[in-house]
C-alpha cells in the first residue's frame, strides 16, 4: 500500500484560514485531522443517522448486478471514501469473480484514507491511497488506467452543485468507464415530504451531528457555548423544478478568536459563518440531471421504501 498527497496538511490549513476569513467553512473541513475523522466515523455509526447504513445495505443488495457489468481489468476509484466500508464490499465482490482491480481510495482526510486502506489490507490487490479533493479530478485522472469504476458513495452526490459535479465527472471519463453513485431520495407526496423534513431536522440537530459540525472551530478555540448551529431547508430552482436544499450556518454569540496556523481570526458576536449544503432530490430530478449532463443509466437500484437510490451510469 502507498499513499499520494495531492493536498498536504499545510495546504488544508491555509485553505481553512482563507475560507474562514470570508466567514465560510465548507463541509470538507469537518473531516480533517484525527478529531475530524473520528467524529465522522462516530456519526457514521450513530443511530440518529440511518442514511449511511441504509445506503450500504442497498449497495450490498445490488453488488452482484453491478459486478455483472464489469469484466477484464477495471480500476476502482472512490471519491470521498470515508471509512471505506462500501468500497470493501465492491472490492470483495470483484475479487471473488476472479478480477484484480487496482484500488484508489480518495479523501480530503489523510486519516480516512488510512482507514479505507486498512479496511482492505488483507486483499491481494494493488492499493494507492490519495489525499485529494474532487476538484482535483483531472490530476486524479492521470493516476488511474481505464477502464475505471468511479465511485461517489455515501450521499456525497447531494453535497455538490449537480451540474458542475456531473460535468467534471463527464470530462474525465472515457466511453468504457462506469460511474457509480448513490443518494438519499426526497418523497414527492406532500404529506411524506413533511414527515421527511421532520426526520431530517431531528437527525441534523442531534447532539452528535451538532458537535461534528462545530468541531473544526472548537478544536481551534471556540467555546461551543458561544455559538449557535442552525440548519434549515429552503427551496431552489433546479432543472425547472423546485429542489430542497439545506442552509447551514454557525452564529457567533460572543467575541472569540480562532487559532489557525497562518494566523488568528477574530470573530465578533453576531457574525455568521456559512457552511456547506445538501440537496434533497426526488428520483426524477436525479434522472433529469444525469440526462442533461450526457449520462445514460446502465442500471438503477432502489430499496424497498424507494428512499435510497444507487445509479450505475456511463457517458452517453
Residue 238 has pLDDT above 80, yes or no: no
The pLDDT > 90 percentage for the chain reads 78
For residue 137 the three cell numbers come to 479530478
pLDDT for the residue numbered 179: 98
Residue 219 has pLDDT above 70, yes or no: yes
- Tell me the pLDDT band of 199, cut-offs 50, 70 and 90: confident
- pLDDT, tens only, 77-120: 999 999 999 999 999 999 999 999 999 999 999 999 999 999 99
pLDDT for the residue numbered 204: 81
CA dist., res. 215 & res. 221, Å (int): 10
For residue 114 the three cell numbers come to 488510512
Residue 315 has pLDDT above 80, yes or no: yes
pLDDT for the residue numbered 240: 63
CA dist., res. 165 & res. 292, Å (int): 12
Alpha carbon separation from 122 to 82, 110, 303 (Å, rounded): 19, 20, 30
DSSP SS3 for 223: coil
Single out the residue of 242, 72, 254 nearest to residue 148, CA to CA: 72
Single out the residue of 66, 65, 87, 91 nearest to residue 78, CA to CA: 87
- Tell me the pLDDT band of 183, cut-offs 50, 70 and 90: very high
pLDDT for the residue numbered 53: 81
Residue 7 has pLDDT above 80, yes or no: yes
CA dist., res. 85 & res. 66, Å (int): 17
CA dist., res. 282 & res. 192, Å (int): 12
Across 202-222, average pLDDT: 90
Across 138-147, average pLDDT: 92
Domains in the chain (CATH in brackets) are 2-187+282-315 (3.40.50.150), 192-280 (no CATH)
Whether 119 and 88 have beta carbons less than 8 Å apart is answered as yes
pLDDT for the residue numbered 299: 97
H helix count then E strand count, the chain: 10, 15
DSSP 27: G
Contacts for 291 with CB less than 8 Å, ≥ 6 apart: none
- pTM for this prediction: 0.94
Mean confidence (pLDDT) of the chain? 93
Amino acid at each position: 500500500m502507498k499513499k499520494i498527497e495531492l493536498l498536504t496538511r499545510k495546504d488544508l490549513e491555509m485553505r481553512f484560514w482563507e475560507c474562514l476569513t470570508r466567514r465560510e467553512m465548507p463541509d470538507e473541513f469537518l473531516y480533517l485531522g484525527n478529531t475530524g475523522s473520528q467524529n465522522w466515523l462516530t456519526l457514521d455509526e450513530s443511530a440518529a443517522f440511518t442514511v449511511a447504513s441504509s445506503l450500504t445495505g442497498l449497495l450490498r443488495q445490488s453488488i452482484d448486478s453491478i459486478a455483472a457489468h464489469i469484466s477484464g481489468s477495471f480500476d476502482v476509484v472512490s471519491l470521498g471514501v470515508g471509512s471505506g466500508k462500501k468500497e470493501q464490499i465492491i472490492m470483495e465482490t470483484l475479487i471473488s469473480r476472479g478480477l484484480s482491480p487496482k484500488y484508489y481510495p480518495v479523501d480530503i482526510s489523510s486519516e480516512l484514507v488510512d482507514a479505507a486502506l486498512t479496511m482492505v489490507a488483507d486483499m491481494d490487490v494493488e492499493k494507492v491511497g490519495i489525499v485529494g479533493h474532487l476538484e482535483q479530478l483531472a490530476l486524479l485522472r492521470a493516476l488511474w488506467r481505464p477502464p475505471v469504476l468511479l465511485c461517489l458513495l455515501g450521499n456525497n452526490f447531494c453535497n455538490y452543485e449537480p451540474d458542475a459535479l456531473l460535468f467534471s465527472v463527464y470530462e474525465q471519463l472515457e466511453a468504457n468507464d462506469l460511474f457509480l453513485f448513490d443518494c438519499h431520495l426526497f418523497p414527492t407526496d406532500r404529506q411524506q415530504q413533511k414527515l421527511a423534513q421532520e426526520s431530517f431536522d431531528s437527525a441534523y440537530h442531534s447532539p452528535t451531528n451538532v458537535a461534528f459540525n462545530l468541531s473544526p472551530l472548537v478544536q481551534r478555540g471556540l467555546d461551543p457555548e458561544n455559538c449557535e448551529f442552525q440548519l434549515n431547508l429552503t427551496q431552489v430552482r433546479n432543472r425547472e423544478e423546485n429542489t430542497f436544499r439545506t442552509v447551514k450556518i454557525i452564529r457567533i454569540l460572543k467575541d472569540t478568536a480562532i487559532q489557525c496556523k497562518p494566523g488568528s481570526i477574530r470573530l465578533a458576536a453576531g457574525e455568521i459563518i456559512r457552511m456547506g449544503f445538501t440537496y434533497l432530490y426526488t428520483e426524477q430530478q436525479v434522472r433529469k440531471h444525469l440526462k442533461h449532463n450526457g449520462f445514460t443509466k446502465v442500471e438503477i437500484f432502489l430499496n424497498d421504501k424507494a428512499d435510497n437510490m444507487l445509479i450505475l451510469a456511463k457517458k452517453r
